[in-house]
Structure 1
Amino acid sequence: MDSSRREVVLRVVSTVLLVLTACLVGFDSQTKVIFYTYARKATFRDLNALYVLVWVDAAAAAYNLIQLFRSFRKDLPPTSYRHLRWGIYFLDQAAAYVVFAANTAAVQASVLALIGEKSFQWMKLCNRYSRFCFQIGGALACGYIAAILMIITSSISAYALFRLYSPKHFLLLKGR
């Protein structure tokens, strides 16, 4: 399997995982009745990190779809468009790191919701909303797998970019 097919497969799988993460977090909610009269609903909007995660994963999935459509264009010459390859390389790097950072921030906020913090008088939320927390945990696992796949994809785009350059002279294009 050549690198372009690997890149397509990795982008498809990471897009599916990113959409799955965004949907699992975005549509997850659980309602509990407290003190027999007051109903409290837990949603992703309760933690700002989860709210940001939904939007970051949706944007990264859209970016991957755009790159998939670009990869199906066969009329582009393979060795031209050096500047386009630099742009794809930088955007792949940025997307991978932003997805990883958003997932890490969501995990940190979720851990605080799981164990609480006595010094700030933050109570544990996952002992009340256990189904909500389990679904968020599964979504975060999908998000980390997608982030790892995006890191692999960015390394493939780095290979596609840097193979155009000479190994002996720094950033000098190979002869034709």
Structure 2
Amino acid sequence: MGYWAAETEVFLRVCAILLLVLTACLVAMATQTKLIMYTYARKATFRDLNALPVLVYIDGVVAGYNLLQLSRCSVSAYCKREIQCPLLKNLSWVHFLLDQVAVYTVFATTVAATQASLLAVTGSKAMQWMKLCNRYTRFCIQVGGALLCGYAASIVLVLMSFLSVYNLFRRYSPTKFLQLKSKQ
């Protein structure tokens, strides 16, 4: 792997870990309590919408996966040549496929959480669901910020996936992969 590709991979993985952990923490810690009818207090938590706990778990698992991949980057930094570490060369397909699974899973759970949160904002008269965000505005703003962080994490994971594709297919092409031809 080229020097720029290794540095870029480390940077993207660290950014992805930070954004995924931030998303999971913002969603998991989003709570707001309102007093209803003088004696009854109602607390809104992330467990009120079924998609939000799934988002927390998936983001945690993908952050852990990226942490493991980050440790792999540090091991491969010691292996200057792929001849010394043939196992790392053979695992390129596994890394590529796992990166693809991570991207699609994080994006799908973020979209599902957004859809569930949209029902909390707009409500549904047909199903007799009231709007939650009229009463729990701080909770809804915090979950909205977390979803924005989730989409940012998805974009970083897509960039990481592009780098994974580059690292995979450069092993099957000539030595001057993606270099401009010199003028003659």
Provide TM-score, normalisation by structure 1.
0.91
Structure 1 stretches of at least 4 aligned residues deviating more than 4 Å after TM superposition: none
Q: Distance in 2 between matches of 1:5 and 1:82?
A: 18
Q: Which amino acid aligns with 2:105?
A: V
Aligned mate of 2:133, from 101, 104, 126: 126
Deviations 1:42-77 (A, max 9, x none): 000001100100000000110110000110112334
Matches within 5 A, 1:74-93: 74-76=77-79, 77-78=81-82, 80=86, 81-93=88-100
Matches within 5 A, 1:70-149: 70-73=72-75, 74-76=77-79, 77-78=81-82, 80=86, 81-149=88-156
- Contact 2:120/2:133 (<8 A) preserved: yes
CA RMSD of aligned residues (A): 1.3
Corresponding residue number in structure 1 for 2:65: 63
1:49 to 2:51 alignment: yes
Corresponding residue number in structure 2 for 1:156: 163
SS in 1 for 2:171: coil
The alpha-carbon deviation at position 142 of structure 1 amounts to 0.4
The alpha-carbon deviation at position 166 of structure 1 amounts to 3.1
Q: Distance in 2 between matches of 1:136 and 1:129?
A: 11
The alpha-carbon deviation at position 112 of structure 1 amounts to 0.4
SS in 1 for 2:160: helix
The alpha-carbon deviation at position 78 of structure 1 amounts to 3.2
Q: Which amino acid aligns with 1:53?
A: L
Q: Distance in 2 between matches of 1:58 and 1:154?
A: 18
The alpha-carbon deviation at position 37 of structure 1 amounts to 1.2
Give identity over the alignment, percent.
56
Structure 2, unaligned runs of 5 or more: 175-184
Q: Which amino acid aligns with 1:21?
A: T
SS in 1 for 2:172: coil
Structure 1, unaligned runs of 5 or more: 168-176
SS in 1 for 2:34: strand
Q: Which amino acid aligns with 1:10?
A: L
The alpha-carbon deviation at position 21 of structure 1 amounts to 0.5
Q: Distance in 2 between matches of 1:144 and 1:114?
A: 19
1:4 to 2:6 alignment: yes
Name the count of aligned residue pairs: 167
The alpha-carbon deviation at position 4 of structure 1 amounts to 1.2
Corresponding residue number in structure 2 for 1:38: 40
